[in-house]
């Protein structure tokens, strides 16, 4: 993995589809856009805390932004995933990028895949464990996913509830520090909890399983063997749908691969994105 001293990190707002949108930018080189997930307390700074600077140091310009209804970005009128895809496209257009890679976490993997399918400027696609993008799989896999989705929907903001939720998000329990719990809790209250409640009633995103065979972007799938909501079976089914894909399975790793296996994640992603083909 090539390394260089990244340029200073910048945090700012820009307008995307009329919404005040928070963004972190770091580094220089080929642009990489990071898409966080949709669990309570998700945000760019939190989900990608262990990855922004390492990827910038590897020679990329990293953009990590808060999606509508998350973090410091405005709440939208439309809380569907489909709208978050629309906003993601507007965000990329606002950056005036000519070419870029996309990296998704969880639901962010679905958004990243939609961008890769629909925007010819996309280079490569990377996603961590993503139940929104992966095929449903067996009845056992579906039951696992439904139970986890119900737990997320029923979250009521409190430090204790967020601690319990985060203990399920990560395999490495030593990473569940009080600082992490409090920061994630702070991102789950106020306008963001109001947005979470609004998301309960929206239609699910359209399935794109059959479209994935048309994906031109070389793809890297990074899966956690110990994910509580998305089975390995579903990851392999997704891998089989995508041409020219690679699949990497981590043991002792749950839903946030980019946290549980941060060092390996950063090295694998940087090397994958840096390859010429």
Catalytic residues: 255
- Which ranges constitute the DSSP H helices of the chain? 44-47, 52-57, 81-95, 107-118, 139-153, 159-169, 178-186, 191-199, 232-241, 257-260, 262-274
Eight-state DSSP code of residue 245? E
46: Cβ contacts below 8 Å, ≥ 6 apart: 36, 71, 180, 183, 184, 187
Q: Which residues contact 143 (CB under 8 A, 6 or more apart)?
A: none
**Strand, coil or helix: what is 19?**
strand
């Amino acid at each position: 993995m090539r390394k260089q001293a990244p340029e200073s990190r910048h945090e700012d707002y820009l307008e995307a589809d009329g919404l005040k949108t928070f963004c972190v930018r770091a580094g220089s080189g080929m642009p990489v856009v990071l898409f966080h997930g949709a669990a309570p307390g998700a945000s760019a700074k939190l989900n990608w805390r262990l990855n922004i600077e390492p990827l910038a140091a590897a020679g990329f310009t990293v953009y990590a932004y808060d999606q509508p209804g998350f973090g410091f970005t405005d709440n939208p009128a439309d809380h569907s995933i489909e709208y978050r895809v629309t906003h993601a496209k507007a965000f990329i257009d606002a950056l005036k990028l000519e070419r870029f890679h996309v990296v998704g976490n969880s639901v962010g993997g679905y958004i990243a895949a939609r961008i890769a399918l629909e925007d010819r400027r996309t280079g490569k696609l990377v996603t961590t464990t993503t139940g929104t993008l992966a095929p449903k799989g067996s009845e056992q896999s579906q039951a696992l996913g439904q139970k986890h989705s119900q737990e997320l929907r029923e979250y009521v903001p409190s430090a204790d509830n967020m601690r319990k939720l985060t203990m399920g998000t990560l395999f490495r329990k030593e990473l569940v520090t009080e600082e992490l719990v409090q920061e994630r809790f702070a991102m789950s209250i106020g306008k963001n909890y109001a947005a979470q409640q609004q998301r309960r009633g929206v239609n699910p995103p359209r399935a794109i399983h059959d479209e994935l065979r048309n994906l031109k972007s070389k793809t890297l799938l990074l899966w956690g063997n110990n994910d509580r909501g998305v089975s390995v079976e579903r990851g392999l089914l997704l891998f089989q749908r995508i041409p020219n894909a690679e699949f990497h399975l981590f043991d002792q790793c749950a839903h946030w691969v980019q946290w549980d296996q941060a060092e390996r994640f950063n090295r694998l992603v940087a090397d994958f994105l840096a390859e010429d083909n």
